[in-house]
Amino acid sequence: MPHAETPGVEATPRTRLRWWTELPLILLVYACYSAGRLLARGDVTSAVDHGLAILRIEKFLYLNAEHPLNRVFTREPWLGVPADFWYASLHYLVTPAILVWLFRSRAVRYRAARTWLMTSTFIGLIGFTLLPTCPPRLLSESYGFVDTMAYYSSYGWWGGEASAPRGLGGMTNQYAAMPSLHVGWALWCGVMLWRYGGTRITKVAAVVYPLVTTIVVMGTANHYFLDAVAGAAVMGVGLLLAPHVMRTADRVKAQLTGGLVPVAADSPGASASIVSGGCQTSAGERFPRQRDSRIESGAEPSASSADADDGAPAAAR
């Protein structure tokens, strides 16, 4: 009797993901992303022009959350220091933690969630390449921004150049401000917690984490408000493209493996037939005629049974 399958679960081997294949894939994607950021540094003058253009657009739209938040974070170390730790570390911790949690406890949803995150990340990389943008902290002092990462660098492991560890600031692209993937990844984490957390605490965290991250990236002068909006927009585009990416990946995998797709035994395309008490043969396969148990035991078959056997259709033999 065929076993009942869980509704909505694809019962094919290609959905049975393994951590030893997932981990190298994620590390490879992140390595490509990091290398791409470094290669997409762009011209400093153009990056400054883009940053000032964003400021002008925000001024025209009466959006100016960055300045008051930055002044508060600079004036109040009990806010500024935790904000710098939040900016420098949580996206490296929370995002992988939620990926692992989904892989272990929500395996059916993991592949789509992982594809969404990776697709959005690569879209963000395109944004860094096409629109290098100087963050507020790197603008001239006349614009009124303070680099809190440099201001509070004695409290953390980062140096005065960037949120990277001391001495490694030159290995980062400091003009990759548009879009803000800090906000984008935090939004992804929030959606995962809201949809699959199942408790009140996880739903609160789903709202608090992206909201606080948005405040932090502006208050530390690492991003403009429109950078955060662009980060959310990138995640939206990635969500729309993720199903197409998965289908393309499936087609490529099928071509690489010769188009061999497992077929369930009870599906219309199955060619197996059940014979002889559960043995399976493919359609058209010939199998030897079974000997009568009475012959094997040394007993002579009766005439009636012999006649019946001789009169059986050839297809049954």
Per the listing, tokens 């492991």 go with 157
Q: How far apart are the first and last CA of the chain?
A: 26
- Interval 187-212 mean pLDDT: 95
Per the listing, tokens 């440099």 go with 150
DSSP code for 176? B
pLDDT of residue 163: 58
Percent of the chain, pLDDT > 70? 63
Nearest-angstrom CA–CA distance, 164 and 88: 7
Contacts of range 38-41, beta carbons closer than 8 Å, 24 or more positions apart: 38/171, 38/172, 38/173, 40/125, 40/128, 40/129, 40/132, 40/173, 40/176, 41/132, 41/173, 41/175
pLDDT of residue 107: 77
Going by pLDDT thresholds of 50, 70 and 90, the confidence category of residue 49 is very high
Going by pLDDT thresholds of 50, 70 and 90, the confidence category of residue 208 is very high
pLDDT of residue 245: 93
SS3 4: coil
pLDDT, tens digit (0-9, with 9 covering 90-100), for 50-66 = 999 999 999 999 998 99
Cβ-proximal residues to 266 (8 Å cutoff; 6+ apart), any chain:
2
Paired tokens of 170: 């030159």
Q: Concatenate the DSSP letters of all residues of 135-173 into one string.
A: -GGGS-GGG----HHHHTGGGSSB-SSSSSBTT-GGGS-
* b/e code 183-216 from CB counts within 10 Å (16+ = b): bbbbbbbbbbbeebbeeeeeeebbeebbebbbbb
pLDDT of residue 18: 61
Cβ-proximal residues to 134 (8 Å cutoff; 6+ apart), any chain:
44, 47, 48, 50, 51, 52, 175, 177
181, exposed or middle or buried, with CB in 10 Å at 0-12, 13-18, 19+?
A: buried
127, exposed or middle or buried, with CB in 10 Å at 0-12, 13-18, 19+?
A: buried
pLDDT of residue 20: 56
Whether 305 and 312 have beta carbons less than 8 Å apart is answered as no
pLDDT of residue 26: 64
Backbone angles phi, psi at 68, to 5 degrees: -65, -40
Nearest Cα residue to 209 out of 189, 194, 239, 227: 189
Alpha-carbon distances of 150 from 73, 133, 138, 205, 221, rounded to whole Å:
12, 19, 11, 29, 11
pLDDT, tens digit (0-9, with 9 covering 90-100), for 222-280 = 999 999 999 999 999 999 999 999 999 889 888 888 755 444 444 444 333 323 344 44
pLDDT exceeds 80 at position 187: yes
pLDDT of residue 93: 92
